[in-house]
A = this chain, B = another copy of it.
């Protein structure tokens, strides 16, 4: 007897769309940590986030249908935090700490809605901006990226037969498991999923996360995706992002204020969080400049997340800085999260093993590596370097310099001003694939 769930099939026939954003928890954990602080300290600041496609040759507006994109963005605006989700946020332990989120913040989330979006087609690309209070626009970053990336995957697979798709995913699974088997050879590995924003699709990320949980056991410490953490009883992983120093820098009224913005944001952070959340992101305006002027107290923090320098050089630079402060790196943590894949994880692990604590945030190459997997001709399943960045705060342009000039964002005149203040030392261009 063939068994068909008629109600499900009937529902499927008639759905309006297959939603990409199914939950507001389908975001990176650091967004919520940052949001709690933003709401506390900067509740009125208007901040614009903008989607930026660093791969100019990929003409997204020709690959993704505008009506579908609007339907998905509109759908995301209908999603709310559910009672179950808020109860979990309130009652769960994060980084060993209960009540990470205040009751007041949880109550505020209850009515949260993603604000309006501003979408135009320009020269084969989408201009997609989110204007509004920082407390609201900040939560667009991840849904905006997951929607565009998944719509692009769907478009690449549209019209393919059942077997072509079956083989595609079979190869992708075989490929990922080959990576898992290589990582199993690293006994002290500490790794987490950072792949939400660039994922091929929600369902594929979920498979990847479940695969790492099964394949790596306790070496897999969790996922940045809050929804997947909740559903799979994994740790939610993450601390803070470039948007904090970028907004603080944009708000600075003088060059002196700009120069100290990266440290003021850390003071803010320290006032809200402690322990393993005391991780500094040194590269917003160049790691060399950041470390040179960094206050001594920063050496007491748990560690750093170098995010744009090559991992070994970037790690060595930070270790030298710790040593210059008389701190033993063995007790410190480096989190590597910039375009990592098995080769660079192995090399970095072997290079630093025994000298410093390490953790890897595995992103795009975990959740969107379909190279050589399709049994049909396409290059549209290759991940692209899509970001959603602060472009304006309180009417003033925002800038990211990064250790890699290819990852810099902002208006040229303003970038030049930041370079005058922070310097260009230690910055090296490298191709950005993801």
Q: Does A128 contact B (CB under 8 A)?
A: no
Pick the contact of A161 from B8, B162, B167, B214 — CB < 8 Å? B214
Q: Do residues B167 and A173 form an inter-chain contact, with CB atoms below 8 A? A: yes
A211 pairs with B8, CB closer than 8 A:
no
A170 interfacial by beta-carbon distance below 8 Å? yes
Q: Does A321 contact B (CB under 8 A)?
A: no
Residues of chain B contacted by A422 (CB below 8 angstroms)? none
Beyond the given pairs A170-B172, A177-B375, 11 more chain A to chain B contacts, judged by CB atoms under 8 angstroms and listed by A's residue number, are: A3-B7, A3-B8, A163-B210, A163-B211, A163-B214, A164-B214, A166-B173, A167-B211, A170-B171, A170-B174, A170-B177
Measured in the bound complex, the distance between the Cα atoms of B166 and A164 in whole Å is 17
A163 to B215 Cα, complex, angstroms: 8
User: Do A181 and B375 have beta carbons less than 8 Å apart?
Assistant: yes
* Inter-chain contacts of A375 with B (CB < 8 A): 177, 181, 215
Interface string of A370-410 (1 = CB under 8 A from B): 00000100000000000000000000000000000000000
In the complex, per-residue mask of A163-198: 1 if CB is within 8 Å of any chain B CB, else 0: 110110111111001000100000000000000000
Please indicate the chain B residues that have their CB under 8 angstroms from the CB of A215 in the complex. 163, 375
Assembled-state Cα–Cα distance A211/B164 (Å): 9
Whether A5 is near chain B, meaning CB under 8 Å from some CB there, is: yes
* CB neighbours of A173 from chain B (8 A): 166-167, 170-171
Cβ contacts under 8 Å, A3 to chain B: 5, 7-8
Kindly report which residue of chain B lies nearest to residue A167, judged by CB atoms. Answer: B177
Distance between Cα atoms of A263 and B164 in the complex (Å): 47
A sample of 8 cross-chain residue pairs with beta-carbon separation below 8 angstroms, ordered by A number, consists of A162-B214, A164-B214, A170-B170, A170-B171, A170-B172, A170-B173, A170-B174, A174-B174
Nearest B residue to A6 via CB reads: B5
Per DSSP, chain A at the interface is helix
Residue of B nearest to A172 (CB): B170
Q: Which B residues touch A162, using CB under 8 A? A: 214
Q: In the assembled complex, which residues on chain B have CB atoms less than 8 Å from the CB atom of A167? A: 173-174, 177, 211
- B177 A171 Cβ-Cβ under 8 A: yes
Q: Chain B residue with minimal CB distance to A5?
A: B5
Q: In whole Å, how far is A175's beta carbon from the nearest beta carbon of chain B?
A: 8
| Shortest Cβ distance from residue A232 to the other chain B in the assembled complex, whole angstroms | 12
Chain B residues with CB under 8 Å of A5's CB are 3, 5
Within 189-243 of A, Cβ neighbours of B (below 8 Å) are at 210-211, 214-215
Mask, A120-136, CB within 8 Å of B = 1, is 00000000000000000
Q: Give the docked Cα–Cα distance between A5 and B163 (Å).
A: 26
For A11, the closest partner residue in chain B by CB is B3
- Chain B residues, Cβ within 8 Å of A8: 3
A172: chain B residues at CB < 8 Å are 170
Give the residues in chain B near A214, CB-CB below 8 Å. 161-164
User: 3 tightest A-B contacts by CB?
Assistant: A170-B173, A163-B214, A170-B170
A347-381 vs B, CB cutoff 8 Å, 1 = contact: the mask equals 00000000000000000000000000001000000
User: A166: which B residues are within 8 A, CB to CB?
Assistant: 173, 211
